[in-house]
Amino acid sequence: MSKVVENRYEFVLLFDVTDGNPNGDPDAGNLPRIDPETGQGLVTDVCLKRKIRNYVLLTRQGQPGYDVFIKEKAVLNKLIEEAHQALGDEKQGADRTEEARGVMCRRFYDVRTFGAVMTTGENAGQVRGPVQLTFARSVEPVVPLEHTITRMSVATEAEAERQQGENRTMGRKFTVPYGLYRCHGFVSAALAGQTGFSEEDLDLLWEALVNMFEHDRSAARGLMCSRRLVVFRHDSKLGNAPAHTLFERLQVRRSNGIHGPARAFSDYEVSVDESDLPSGVTILNRL
């Protein structure tokens, strides 16, 4: 692998959804997540991390160091046990836990990127990941729509024997007509040194953020696209400016002459203020 990341980064990801449900809320019948006070749509950090993990699995399958710890049907305790088995019987106690933690970081991309709690079976410690994401929040309020759908096929012979029309099953589908979402992210060089998060891993993160929706299509999610990825690079481990002051440099406004509900990315203008940047900060446009 390449060298460990030695610079702090912050980034802003803009993505949108058209006629889809970007992140259903199981506590609300799978309605799109909404801030009830503002009407803005929400997408959780966990949802976005899932898409990044799926992209890594798809594009780096079989490559050493790029397995994923949190994945469908993974038996976590078994994976932790495998890390201990790789150590043999030489070390015990705290030293063994620390060594097992290192094995997990080297094997699993998501452990050294996002961190993990690995104390559910044999102890491999806890990892605080260098990459963290906020909830994504829509730029403007969104209005969830509810659609009635029917099923014409049947699942059993008993259903097939019913009279025509009696075997229709009614269901519900929820969508957002259009929403532009904004997510903030952070990369800590200090924590990267603890997990071994490398420059190669960082490049894969940018790649995943740009392309993750391209390989996550479904009828439920409609059309989802990454629209802008703006990265703020510091020339030091600890950073050269507060994150919020950098995030404020990216502004999203309605395009001139556009009124009423937004229905396309072209209804907005995105601007990044690159004037009078703090010393040691560089803006990188990844998308």
For residue 167, the model assigns a pLDDT of 57
How large is the greatest C-alpha to C-alpha distance in the chain, in angstroms?
76
For residue 87, the model assigns a pLDDT of 87
Q: Rounded distance, CA 272 to CA 284, Å?
A: 11
> What does the angle CA 259 – CA 176 – CA 271 come to, to the nearest 5 degrees?
50
Q: Rounded distance, CA 276 to CA 245, Å?
A: 12
Cβ-contact 183, 43 below 8 angstroms: yes
Q: Rounded distance, CA 270 to CA 252, Å?
A: 5
Domain positions in the chain: 9-61+128-285
Q: Rounded distance, CA 211 to CA 201, Å?
A: 15
DSSP 17: E
Each residue's pLDDT tens digit in the chain (287 positions)?
589 999 999 999 999 999 999 999 999 999 999 999 999 999 999 999 999 999 999 999 999 999 999 998 889 999 999 999 988 877 788 889 999 999 999 999 999 999 999 999 889 999 999 999 999 999 999 999 999 888 777 777 777 777 665 656 778 899 999 999 999 999 999 999 999 999 999 999 999 999 999 999 999 999 999 999 999 999 999 999 999 999 999 999 999 988 899 999 999 999 999 999 999 999 999 88
DSSP 75-88: -HHHHHHHHHHHHT
Cβ-contact 85, 122 below 8 angstroms: no
DSSP 284: E
Helices (H), 18-75: 45-59
Considering only CA atoms, which of 1, 47, 46, 45 is closest in space to residue 20? 47
Pairing of strands 9-20, 223-234: antiparallel
Considering only CA atoms, which of 175, 169, 134, 129 is closest in space to residue 149? 169
Cβ-contact 273, 252 below 8 angstroms: no
DSSP 11: E
| Cα dihedral 36, 132, 286, 61 in deg (nearest 10) | -110
Residue 170, token pair as written in the block: 């009614």
Q: What is the pTM of this model?
A: 0.93
Other beta carbons less than 10 A from residue 158's beta carbon = 9
List CB contacts of 83: < 8 A, sequence separation 6 or more. 100, 103, 104, 107, 122, 124
For residue 26, the model assigns a pLDDT of 94
DSSP 169-233: EEEEEEEEEEEEEEEEEEE-HHHHHHHT-BHHHHHHHHHHHHHGGGG---TTT-EEEEEEEEEEE
